[in-house]
Copies of this chain bind each other. A is one copy, B any other.
Amino acid sequence: MRYSHKLSDAIHILAYVAIYQDGDLSSATIAASVESNPALVRRLMGALRRAGLLTTQQGSATPKLTRDATAITLLDVYRAVEEDGNLLHVDDKTNPKCVVGANIQDTLREAYDEVQRVAEAQLKRQTLAQIIAGILTRHHAKTQ
């Protein structure tokens, strides 16, 4: 498949909502910033809403973060939009009659879990507020 940009686009949406909180927050406007389409934006916003990160109102372009950007981690967003949150994938079709095929799946799962654990810990350490600060800092550096 193509590589997923869902995490990146979801963070983009949340950052946009936070930065332009009193501006035009229609899915079409946000889609223009993402260079994507309104339906994708609405789909991602739906996932963010179900995860409790965003409130929306049907018929009204008024999305809002449910809490401060300092209290939203990249892990929160990742879990909201990536249903298979696994970074690495075990081949679950190996020969059970072979010593290697019969035992490698559980062994690898254990190994991959360690990778997943540290990656998620790192995602948890980074907040939406930091991303927003990074965006604004870069912007100001360019326009001064």
List chain A positions with a Cβ less than 8 A from chain B. 1-5, 7-9, 11-12, 15-16, 19, 32-35, 74, 84, 86-91, 93-95, 98-104, 106-108, 110-111, 114-115, 117-119, 121-123, 125-126, 130-131, 134-136, 138-139, 142
Secondary structure at the A interface, as helix, strand, loop or mixed, is helix
Question: Once bound together, how far apart are the Cα atoms of A93 and B34, in whole Å?
Answer: 7
Determine if B108 and A8 form an interchain contact, defined as CB atoms under 8 angstroms apart.
yes
Question: Once bound together, how far apart are the Cα atoms of A7 and B88, in whole Å?
Answer: 8
Copies of this chain in its oligomeric complex: 2
Nearest chain-B residue to A135 (Cβ)? B103
Residues of chain B contacted by A91 (CB below 8 angstroms): 5, 8-9, 12, 34
Determine if B4 and A89 form an interchain contact, defined as CB atoms under 8 angstroms apart.
yes
Nearest chain-B residue to A131 (Cβ)? B107
Residues of chain B contacted by A89 (CB below 8 angstroms): 3-5, 8
Determine if A95 and B1 form an interchain contact, defined as CB atoms under 8 angstroms apart.
no
